[in-house]
Amino acid sequence: MLYYSYWESRCSLKFLMKKIAVVGAGVVGLSTAINIFDSIPFVSVTVIADKFNVDTTSDGAGGLFRPNSNTTPGIPVEKMKKWCADSLEHYTTLLSSQEANKCGVSLMTGFLFGQEPLDDFVSLVSHTFQNLSSEQIRKMNFNYKYGAQVTTLVAECRRYLPWLMEKFQEKGGHVIKRTLKSLEELVGHYDIVVNCTGLGSRFLVPDDSVYPVKGQLIQVEAPWIKHFYYFEDDLPAYIIPCGDRVALGGVRFKDDFTTHIDPEVSRGIWQRCTSKIPSLKNAKVLWEWSGLRPHRIPLRLEKEIMKFPKGQLKVVHNYGHGANGVTLSWGTALNATKLVEEFMRPNFESKL
Ligand SMILES: Cc1cc2nc3c(=O)[nH]c(=O)nc-3n(C[C@H](O)[C@H](O)[C@H](O)COP(=O)(O)OP(=O)(O)OC[C@H]3O[C@@H](n4cnc5c(N)ncnc54)[C@H](O)[C@@H]3O)c2cc1C
């Protein structure tokens, strides 16, 4: 009798269980998949993606938590602050946990410099932000009118993404490697789909308001560089230590879909970074990387009922994080989870 009741309850639970697919295994998709597990009972969650870890854009990101007032154009500032604050809380909790080393998140102090007043939005959500006086800037051997010292977080995605995936699988998450040509392929297989495909949404949804902003980085071995630097010049440059390497970068090419490394661009990055921090001339170049930031104005975080010849599909879109996917991922994942919950409410079903 007891045996029968056990199986009976298992079967009814299985019947009740909602099947959710999260499409995308970048920092946005994996954060969303984990949050759904953590917040919603009786769900089975499957991550579907054609690229994982080193093959994603997220893997190459500088990983710095550095939002600015233009981080999410078209999104009300209070909403953006909430996403940033939620992400900051998540990363800060990890910092003091036993997982800190494994997940690749660390606290880092660095410097911003520019000839124009600096965007100090980050001061609202970072650990510390202090403007530097001209005297302090001069003592650091920099020739800028404005400077600030900021303490914020950096997530080394080469460790953070595999860590997120491990957490997801520990919770019972499923993973499928597959390229989708259309979300219609998921009709009838999942109750709700969360679309976290970044630039892939341009073709998958399709949504031509998502566009690439190409970036290129030189990864070097320079263990003496302990702080990050941002130089807000006409041709900007940044230097971000991340794990056992330092990322040199700063280029942004709108609507450039190519992913090859342009040697001319690399020369420019090298020249700008080594002219600011001359000791970098002695750094060993490890590899170069280029990636396409998935921009959209505004970032898309909303529900949609998509209608296809095969049937309709409840979709939560969560894409278009531009240059701030690492910064915003946890906050937008929490928000996307709420939208999934809204889809699951009984009164929502009856409205369809
Ligand atoms: C040079 C550079 C430096 C950066 N530095 C920072 C930084 O310091 N801080 C910061 O916050 N952000 C930074 N970013 C931005 C950050 O990398 C992105 O915002 C972030 O990676 C976007 O994450 P995502 O999960 O949306 O997309 P992605 O990482 O691109 O993941 C998309 C996922 O969707 C899947 N997918 C797409 N289409 C399909 C399909 N049709 N079928 C199946 N799967 C599909 C892919 O396989 C992949 O798994 C940087 C970006 C670049 C290029």
Residue closest via CA to ligand 1's atom 2 equals 61
Identity at 287, one-letter amino acid code = W
Each residue's pLDDT, cut to its tens digit, for the chain (352 residues) gives: 444 454 445 445 666 799 999 999 999 999 999 999 999 999 999 999 999 999 999 999 989 998 988 888 999 999 999 999 999 999 999 998 999 999 999 999 999 999 999 988 888 777 789 999 999 999 999 999 999 999 999 999 999 999 999 999 999 999 999 999 999 999 999 999 999 999 999 999 999 999 999 999 999 999 999 999 999 999 999 999 998 999 999 999 999 999 999 999 999 999 999 999 999 999 999 999 999 999 999 999 999 999 999 999 999 999 999 999 999 999 999 999 999 999 998 766 544 4
51 lines ligand 1 (CB under 6 A): yes
- The response to whether residue 323 sits with its C-beta less than 6 Å from ligand 1 reads yes
Q: Give residue 230's pLDDT.
A: 96
Strands (E), the chain: 18-23, 43-49, 105-114, 128-131, 146-155, 174-177, 192-195, 211-221, 228-232, 237-242, 245-249, 253-254, 284-308, 311-321
Q: Taking the model in full, what pTM does it have?
A: 0.95
Residue 20 DSSP SS3: strand
Which of ligand 1's atoms lies nearest the C-alpha of 30?
25
Of the candidates 335, 63, 330, the residue with the CA atom closest to the CA atom of residue 219:
63
- Give yes or no for residue 259 CB within 6 A of ligand 1: no
How many angstroms does the Cα of residue 325 sit away from the middle of ligand 1? Answer: 7
Ligand 1: which atom is nearest the Cα of residue 322?
19
For residue 143, the CA-to-ligand 1 centroid distance in Å is 34
The length of the chain, given as a count of residues: 352
Is residue 22 in contact with ligand 1, taking CB distance under 6 Å? no
CA separation for the pair 260, 214 (Å, rounded): 10
Strand partners, 241: 246
> Nearest-5° angle of CA 72, CA 154, CA 134?
80
Domains of the chain: 2-351 (3.40.50.720)
Query: Is 333's C-beta closer than 6 angstroms to any atom of ligand 1?
Result: no
Top mutation candidate among 53, 56, 179 for ligand 1, by most atoms within 8 Å of CB: 56
Ligand 1 near 241 CB (within 6 A):
no
Quote the ligand 1 centre to 73 CA distance (angstroms).
18
**Predicted local confidence at residue 348, as pLDDT:** 65
Say what the pLDDT of residue 3 is: 47
Q: Output the pLDDT for position 274.
A: 98
pLDDT for res 126: 72
CA of 200 to the centre of ligand 1 (A): 9
| Tokens, residue 181 | 């040509």
pLDDT for 125 equals 72
